[in-house]
A and B are shown apart, each in its own frame.
Chain A
Amino acid sequence: MVVGMKDALKLIGISVIACCAIFVCTLFLNYNIDIAAMENEITASGVVTMYNAIVSTGKVVAAVSGGCLAVTSVIMLLFYVKNYIDTHGKELGILKALGYSNFKIAKHFWIFGLSVFVGCALGYAAAFLYLPLFYELQNAEHLFPEIKVQFHLSLAFLLVVVPAISFAVLAVIYACFRLKTPVLDLLKEKHEYKAKLSKNETKDLPFLKELTRSTVMSRKSLVFFIAFSAFCFSAMVQMSMSIKDLSSETMAIMILTIGLILAFVTLFLSLSSVVKGNTKTIAMMRVFGYKHSDCSKAVLGGYRPFSYIGFVIGTIYQYVLLRIMVSIVFADVENVPEYNFDFTACVITLGLFVFTYEIAMYAYSRRIKKLPIKSIMLE
C-alpha cells in the first residue's frame, strides 16, 4: 500500500481542526433547525427580534468559523499530500518507473479523508453531548418555548460524511497532480527550489540570514500555519474575554478551549515540520561548527514576524466579528451591552502569547540541540 493508516494518523492536525469546526457548526446549526420548527409559536415582537438575532448569529458563527477552519483544513491537507510525495519520492518514483499510473498511485491517498472523518465524527458527537446544555444557555431567559434536542440525519450527513468524502477526493486529485513530476525527479527527490528564490536573492546577505529567508520561502504553507496559530490564539482568547458580557461564561470557555487547542496543535505541528524538514541542514551546520543557538535562530527565527502578523489579524478579526454581531445581528435587540475594543484583553492576550510562543520556540530550540550530529550520515 502506498499510503497506510499510519500515515493518515499523522494528519492529527486536520482531525483537530475538523473536530473544532464541526463542533461549532453542529451546535449552532442543530439549534437553528430545532428553533426554526417553533417559529410559528414565537409571536411577541420583542421575542421575534431575539429569535431573528439568534438565528442570524448561528448562521454567521457557523459560516465564519466553519468556513475559516475548512479553508485551513484544505491547506493543511494539501500541505500533507505534497510533503508526503516530497519525502517518499523514491518509493513513488519506483512505482511510476514500474508502470503504475499517476491515478493508480494517487487513489491510495483517499485514506487521508479518514482523518477528516474521525475529526468530524468526534466533533459531531461532542457537540451532540453538549447540545442540551447549549440549548439551556441559549434560552436562559426562557423567551422561547422549551426546545428539545433533535437528531437530524441530513445535518449529520452534511457535517460528517460530506467533508470526509470531499477531502478524500481532494487528496486523490491533488496527489494525482503532484505525481505528474517526472520519474527521475521523484527518484532523486529533486525539489523545485526554483529560480523564484534567485530573483529576490541578495548577493551580500550573510549565510545565516539567507538561510532564515530561504527556510521561510521554501515552505510557505508553514508560514500560513504559524500565522494561523497566532491568529487563533489572539482571536479566540480576546473574544472569550470580551464575549462574557455579550453572551455567557460557558460560551467564553468554549471559545477559549477551541482557540487554545487550535493554536497549540497548529503551532506544534508546524514547528515539528520545520525542524524535521531542516534536520540535515542543522546537522551539517553543526558539523561545520555553527553554534546550536545560530542553528535555532536561523531555522526558527524567520517565522516570528509572521506569528505577530497573525496575532494582529486575529485581534482585528475578533473585533470586527463582535462589532458586526452587536451592531448588525443584535441591532434590534434591547439591553445588549455596548461593545468597544477591549484594550486590557488585548494587552493580556499579547503578554500570554509572547510568553507561550517563546516557550514553544525554546522547547524546539532544545530539540534542535539534541539532534544527533551524525543524522546526515546515517542515510
Chain B
Amino acid sequence: MIAVSDITKSYGAGGNRNQVLKGISLQISDRDFTVILGASGSGKSTFLNVISGLERPDSGSVTYGSREITKLSDSELTQFRKDNIGFIFQQYYLLPNMTVEKNVRMGADLADNREYGKIITAVGLEDKSRKYPSELSGGEQQRVSVARALAKKPKVLFLDEPTGALDEQTGRQVLDYICKLHKEYGFTIVMVTHNQNIAEMANTVVKMNSGKISEVSANEKQKTAYEIGW
C-alpha cells in the first residue's frame, strides 16, 4: 500500500513561486493499476516524481507499507528505489552505446536477475537483443525500456506518458505488453497520462487539476489495450 498524505510541492522563489502540488492525499493498493489523468500543467508528473522518490515534497509524507520514504536520506532513497521501484518514461532514455540486452541488464543486475532473457522474449525483442537503440523503432525502444524496468523485479512500476511518443498501433502494443506482464508478475502500476482512453484500462483513475485531485474513481471492468479508443 502506498499512502500519500497532504503533499505540497512548489518551484521557484519569491514572486515567481509556483505551487504545483496543493495538499494531495491518496492511497494506492498493492497490485493496483492506477492511472493519474490530467491536462498538461496539472501537476501529474510532479506528483509521480514525488511518490516515486525522485523528488522530495515541501511538506506531507509518502509511505510504502510502514516505511515513510520522505524521511529517508539520499542514499537510503537510492537503495529504496533499487529494491522497489521501476520507471518507464515517455522518452525511453535508453543508453545509446549499449545493446538491447545490456540496457535490460541495467535493471536486471540490480536485482541479480539472471533470467532477464525471458523478459526480452516477453516483450518480443529476442531477435533484436544485439541491436543498438538507434537501430530500433520508437515502439521497440519503449519495449526495451519496459523490459529494463521489469528486469529489476520492481514492486511498483511508475510510467510517465509511456505512449506519448508512439503512434496508435505501437502505443496499443506497448500497453498490451505492460498489462500482460502486470498480470504475470503482479506489481503495482502507477501511470501518468493525459489520454482519457488509456484510463479505461486501469482499476483506479485519479483525475488531477491545478495541483489537486479532483476525482478518484474505480473501473468495474478494465478494457484491454485493443478495446480502448485512442
Contact surface of A with B, Cβ cutoff 8 Å: 188, 190-194, 197-198, 201, 203, 206-208, 210-211, 214-215, 217-218, 280-281, 284-292, 373-374, 376-377, 379
**A211 CB contact (under 8 Å) in B79, B83, B89, B95:** B95
Contact with A along B86-111 (1 / 0, CB 8 A): 01010101011111011001111110
List the A residue with the shortest CB-CB distance to B109. Answer: A207
Q: Which residues of B contact A287 (CB under 8 A)?
A: 54, 81, 87
Contact partners of A192 in chain B: CB under 8 A: 134
| In the bound complex, CA of A137 to CA of B19 (Å) | 70
Determine how close the nearest CB of chain B comes to the CB of A194; give it in whole angstroms: 8
Interface hub of B45, B81, B85 (most chain A Cβ within 10 A): B81
The smallest beta-carbon distance between B5 and chain A, in angstroms, is: 23
Check if B132 sits within 8 Å of A193, measured CB to CB: yes
| Interface residue ranges, B against A (CB under 8 Å) | 45, 49, 54-55, 75, 78-83, 85, 87, 89, 91, 93, 95-99, 101-102, 105-110, 130, 132, 134, 152, 160
Q: Can you list 30 A-B pairs with a CB-CB distance of less than 8 A? A: A190-B134, A192-B134, A193-B97, A193-B132, A194-B132, A197-B132, A198-B99, A198-B132, A201-B102, A201-B130, A207-B102, A207-B109, A208-B109, A211-B95, A214-B95, A214-B97, A214-B102, A215-B97, A217-B97, A280-B93, A281-B95, A284-B106, A287-B81, A288-B81, A289-B78, A289-B80, A290-B82, A292-B78, A377-B49, A379-B91
**Given A193-B132, A289-B83, A374-B55: A210 and B105 interface contact (C-beta under 8 Å):** yes
Q: With A and B bound together, what is the CA distance between A280 and B87 in angstroms?
A: 15
Question: Nearest residue in A to B95 (C-beta to C-beta)?
Answer: A281
**Is the CB–CB distance between B102 and A373 below 8 Å?**
no
Q: Which residue of A lies closest to B96 (CB)?
A: A193
B95 and A284 form a contact (CB under 8 A): yes
Of the candidates A211, A280, A379, the one whose C-beta lies within 8 Å of that of B98 is A211
* CB-CB under 8 A for A288 and B93, given A191-B134, A193-B132, A211-B98: no
Which of B80, B134, B160 is most buried by chain A, counting CB atoms within 10 A of its CB? B134
Tell me the complex Cα distance, A252–B228, Å: 78
A218 to chain B, nearest CB (A): 5
Please, which residues of chain A bring their CB within 8 A of the CB of B97? 193, 197, 214-215, 217-218
Is A198's CB under 8 angstroms from B49's CB? no
Tell me the nearest residue of chain A to B81, going by C-beta.
A289
B81 with A207: CB separation less than 8 A: no
What is the bound-complex CA distance between A297 and B85, given in angstroms?
23
B2 CB to closest chain A CB, in angstroms?
Answer: 17
Chain A residue, CB-CB nearest to B54:
A373
- Indicate if the CB atoms of A377 and B89 lie closer than 8 Å: yes
Whether the pair B110, A288 counts as a contact (CB closer than 8 A) is: yes
Q: How far is the CA of A276 from the CA of B160 in the complex (A)?
A: 25
Q: Is the CB of A193 within 8 A of B79?
A: no
In whole Å, how far is B33's beta carbon from the nearest beta carbon of chain A? Answer: 22
Contact of A289 among B45, B82, B130, B160 (CB under 8 A): B82
Shortest A373–chain B CB gap in Å is 6
Which residues on A sit within 8 Å (CB–CB) of B82? 288-290
How near does chain A come to B114, taking the closest CB pair, in angstroms?
10
A373 to B152, alpha carbons, bound, how many Å?
Answer: 19
Known: A190-B134, A374-B49. A214 touches B78 (CB 8 A): no
CB of A70 to closest CB in B, whole Å: 31
The answer to whether A290 and B110 have CB atoms under 8 Å apart is yes
Besides A198-B99, A207-B102, A215-B97, 20 more A-B contacts (Cβ < 8 Å) are A194-B132, A197-B97, A201-B102, A206-B109, A207-B106, A207-B108, A218-B97, A284-B95, A288-B82, A288-B110, A289-B80, A289-B81, A289-B82, A289-B83, A289-B152, A290-B78, A290-B82, A291-B78, A374-B54, A376-B89
Nearest chain A CB to B69 CB, angstrom units: 13
In whole angstroms, what is the CA distance A280 to B103 when docked? 14
State the Cβ distance, B187 to closest chain A Cβ, in Å. Answer: 15
Bound form: Cα–Cα A198–B129 in Å: 11
- B93 to nearest A CB, angstroms? 5
- Docked complex Cα distance between A376 and B55 (Å): 13
Given the contacts A207-B109, A374-B55, A291 and B96 also touching, CB distance less than 8 Å: no
Contact between A201 and B54 (Cβ–Cβ < 8 Å)? no
A377 and B45 CA atoms in complex are apart in Å by 10
Set of chain A residues within 8 Å of B91, measured between Cβ atoms: 376, 379
Q: How far is the CA of A45 from the CA of B218 in the complex (A)?
A: 105
Among B75, B93, B109, B130, the residue within 8 A (CB) of A284 is B93
Given contacts A193-B96, A201-B99, A374-B55, contact A207 B105 (CB under 8 A): yes
> How far, in angstroms, from A293 to B134 measured CA to CA in the complex?
29
Residue in A closest to B107 when the chains form the complex, CB atoms: A288
Closest Cβ of chain B: how far from A217's Cβ, in Å?
A: 8
**Alpha-carbon distance A190/B196, docked complex (angstroms):** 33
- What separation, in Å, do the CA atoms of A217 and B132 have in the docked complex? 15
Instruction: Specify the chain B residue showing the minimal Cβ separation from A376.
Output: B93
